[in-house]
Amino acid sequence: GFRYYVVGSCEFNSSKLNDIEFTLSYYYNKLEYIRFSSSVGKYVGYTEHGIKNAERWNNGPEVISRRAEKERYCFRNVGVFTESALTKS
């Protein structure tokens, strides 16, 4: 069968909003075909299908909602991630 999955991640080296990057990658059959990165601020396609979707999503409401994810999801939880990692090390 075919596999479709999405991986979201927050990379950070401090709890400051400027030091956090949110990425959301879409995969089909182990091949990443499109990615949103908060440092770029838009979707980037890596395959023909991904490029078409990136153009459409960058001109629609999808990109606006993704731009807010860095603050809504990452910044909000960075303290939880940091405290959890520090208490286990």
Give the pTM.
0.82
Give the contacts of 11 (CB within 8 A, at least 6 positions apart).
20, 21, 23
pLDDT in tens, 58-82: 999 989 989 999 888 888 888 777 6
Q: Which domains does the chain have, with CATH numbers?
A: 4-88 (3.10.320.10)
pLDDT at 44: 98
Residue 24 has pLDDT above 80, yes or no: yes
What percentage of the chain has pLDDT greater than the value 90? 56
**Predicted pLDDT of residue 16:** 80
Q: How many CB atoms lie within 10 A of CB 44?
A: 13
